[in-house]
Amino acid sequence: MSTKFGTPEWAAALKQEINGSSEYRNAANRWGVDFNGNLLFVFEADERNPEQRALMLKLSGGACQDAEFVSEPSHPDAGFVLRGPAHLWREILDRKTMAATAILTGKLRVEGERMQLLKHTAANRALIHCTASVDTGWD
């Protein structure tokens, strides 16, 4: 059964997916160690999705300590922010668009130390895989 996107239940399902993934645990064992690895995903409002959402993920050492939707498109605990239109995020979560491609083409904007992202490409790929693995209901 799908979980409605944007709800606390969806964030909890994502946390469980991340913490249950050996792929993520192994790829991200150094993510957030000696630097702030917390990520804020900002799903900007667009013509198809009138409500902006932001998802805060507290990540370190191959685990997710917390996942929650927050009210603001910025967060003092975020080490990195990825921003893009909600329809683009939906394409990423539906596995129609690769996040790395969206970043490289500038459709998904990154705030934070880009070199850290590049050093941890496998961790970020595994994280997106976990995110896309949540059985998501969109309406």
- Asked if 78 contacts 56 with a C-beta cutoff of 8 angstroms, the reply is yes
pLDDT score for 66: 98
The pair phi, psi for residue 44, each rounded to 5°, is: -70, 140
pLDDT score for 104: 86
SS3 85: strand
Q: What is the pLDDT along the chain (139 residues), one digit of tens a residue?
A: 899 999 999 999 999 999 999 999 999 999 999 999 999 999 999 988 889 999 999 999 999 999 999 999 999 999 999 999 999 999 999 999 998 889 889 999 999 998 888 899 999 999 999 999 999 998 7
pLDDT score for 114: 83
CATH assignment at residue 38: 3.30.1050.10
Q: Which domain holds residue 29?
A: 3-137
pLDDT score for 48: 83
Cα gap 120→26, rounded to integer Å: 11
SS3 15: helix
Q: How many domains does the chain have?
A: 1
- Asked if 46 contacts 83 with a C-beta cutoff of 8 angstroms, the reply is no
pLDDT score for 100: 85
63-70/53-60 β-pairing: antiparallel
- Asked if 30 contacts 120 with a C-beta cutoff of 8 angstroms, the reply is yes
pLDDT score for 55: 98
- Asked if 37 contacts 59 with a C-beta cutoff of 8 angstroms, the reply is yes
Q: What pTM was computed for the model?
A: 0.93
The pair phi, psi for residue 48, each rounded to 5°, is: -95, -20
